[in-house]
Amino acid sequence: MERDDLIVNDSYALNSHHSEEEGAVIRKNVWKVTAILTLLTTVEVIMGVYFKRSETFTWSMIKWTFVILTMVKAAYIVLVFMHLGDERPNLKKVVLAPYMLFISYLLFIAITEGFAHLGNSTLFQ
């Protein structure tokens, strides 16, 4: 029995509408996304390894930097992999703003409850 879902003669016939130039642009974009996300992750790891609580930066500054970098990475992933980056700027803001607001709300609740659990009334030490 012969399968009708296989293309025997040309295995790339379904993607034949892409030219080599378009493929090069797509590959370049994938490498750019990989480099940016790797760079942001590397910065987070270096901060986690080298910055201590007693150095120039306070521990709360370092934690907030982690939160901000993570939110930047999340927004970039949504923009690229969900193809939101190709849309109009107002649509980008309308889609990303509720997520950032929700994440900020979750962080506020976690921090507030964490300090309430510790019996501490100040957010920054």
Q: Give pLDDT tens digits for 8-36.
A: 555 555 555 667 788 888 889 889 999 99
E strands in the chain? none
**Exposure string (b/e) for 49-71, b if CB count within 10 Å is 16 or more?**
eebeeeeeeeeeebeeeeeeeeb
Domain residue limits, the chain:
17-118
Residue 91 has which token pair?
Answer: 């649509």
98 vs 77: CA distance, rounded Å: 16
pLDDT tens for 94-108 read 888 898 899 889 988
**Total-model pTM:** 0.60
